[in-house]
Amino acid sequence: MTETTNPAHAQIDETVKANDVVLFMKGTKDMPQCGFSSRVAGVLNYMGVEFTDVNVLADDGVRQGIKDYSDWPTIPQLYIKGEFVGGCDIITEMTLSGELDTMFNDNGVGFDKEAADRIREANG
């Protein structure tokens, strides 16, 4: 990734690299402020994943900066072990296919496998 002129870039980079799972979202994990952020936070919370939430509505620099950082135009954005995974649609698909479980397992991120299975059963 190239360095940008956005001053939030260093803060974003540090947050992504210092935490196993980070969700850049509108609102917080306890009070999401958009449906897409709510869906991804809900999946992570239901699966018992410990994650850091970053409320992009609290800082315009971060709100635009995360889009530049990932070269992805929408929020929410999920990062696992420093790697950009995707937004709401991608996380939903990965949850339903079991691919998210694999990614958590491969990266040593704890989650409730039974809860993940219940999500798939309910949406199967």
Summarize the annotated binding site for [2Fe-2S] cluster as residue ranges.
Answer: 34
Residue positions in the annotated binding site?
Answer: 34
At 32, give phi and psi (nearest 5°): -60, 150
Strand order across the 83-86 sheet: 52-55, 21-25, 77-80, 83-86
Q: Minimal CA–CA distance to 47: which of 106, 98, 88, 4?
A: 98
